[in-house]
Structure 1
Amino acid sequence: MCTNYRPTSRDLLADLFQLSLFEGGDWPAESWKDYPAPIIRYNGHGQLVCTTATYGLVPRRHIPPGVKPWDTMNARTETVGQLRSYAKCWREGQLCLVPMTGFFEPNYESGAAQRWQIGRADSAPFAVAGIWREWPGENGPEYSFTQLTINADEHPLMQRFHKPGDEKRSLIVIAADEYDDWLRCRDPERARSYFQQFPPELMRAWFDPPPPRKKKAQPAASPQPESTQIDLF
Structure 2
Amino acid sequence: MCSHYESVKIPARLKQYFGAAFETPAFSADLWPKRQGLFVRRPPELNAGDDAVPDREAVLGRWGLISARTSADGMAKAEKLSTFNARSETASRSFTFGNAWQRAQHCIMPAEAVFEPDWRSGRAVPTRFSHVDGVPLGIAGLWDKFRDTAGQWHESYTMLTINADQHPLFREYHRTGEEKRMVVILPAGAYGEWLAAGADDTRDFLHPFPADQLLAQAVIPAAGSSFLF
State the TM-score, normalized to the length of structure 2. Answer: 0.84
Aligned-residue sequence identity (percent) comes to 27
- Counterpart in the other structure of 1:229: none
Residues 205, 135 of structure 1: alpha-carbon distance in 2 compared, 3 angstrom cutoff: same
Q: Check 1:5–1:211 CA distance in 2 against 1; reply closer, same or farther (3 A cut).
A: farther
User: Structure 1 residue 33: deviation in Å?
Assistant: 0.9
CA displacement at 1:189 relative to structure 2: 2.6
What is the deviation of 1:194? 0.5
Aligned to 2:193: 181
Matching of residue 117 in structure 1 with residue 125 in structure 2: no
For 1:220, the equivalent position in structure 2 comes to: none
Aligned length: 211
Letter in 1 for 2:192: D
Render the CA deviation track for 1:97-143: whole Å, top value 9, x for unaligned.
Answer: 01101101110111111111111111211111100011236695321
Determine if contact 1:24/1:51 at 8 Å carries over to the other structure.
no
Counterpart contact for 2:65–2:157, Cα < 8 Å: yes
Please state whether the residue corresponding to 2:201 is helix, strand or coil.
helix
Give the Cα–Cα distance (whole angstroms) in 1 for the partners of residues 185 and 24 of structure 2.
24
Structure 1, gaps ≥5 residues long: 216-233
Residue by residue, what CA displacement relative to the aligned partner does 1:128-176 show, whole Å, maximum 9, x if unpaired?
Answer: 1100011236695321100000000000100111000100001111111
C-alpha distance in 2 between matches for 1:114 and 1:50: 32
- Choose between structure 1 and 2: higher helix proportion: 2
Q: Higher Cα Rg: structure 1 or 2?
A: 1
Confirm or deny: 8 A CA contact 1:8 1:100 kept in the other structure: yes
Find the aligned partners of 1:161 and 1:123 in 2 and give their Cα distance.
22
Mapped contact 2:164–2:180 kept (Cα < 8 A):
yes
Contact 1:23 1:52 in 2 (8 A): no
CA distance in 1, matches of 2:23, 2:133: 29
Query: What RMSD over aligned residues (CA atoms) do the two structures have, in Å?
Result: 2.4
Cα shift at 1:65: 4.3
SS, match of residue 81 in structure 1: helix
Residue number among 151, 155, 161 corresponding to 1:143 in the alignment: 155
Name structure 2 gaps, 5 residues minimum. Answer: 47-53
* 1:14 paired to 2:15: yes
| Most deviating of 9-18 and 145-154 | 9-18
State the secondary structure of the residue aligned to 1:85: helix
Aligned-pair distance for 1:68?
A: 8.8
1:194 aligns with 2:195: no
Which residue of 40, 56, 63 corresponds with 1:55? 63
Q: 1:212 to 1:99 in 2, by over 3 A?
A: farther
Q: Residue 106 of structure 1 aligns to which amino acid in structure 2?
A: P
- Is the Cα contact below 8 Å between 1:101 and 1:125 reproduced in 2? yes
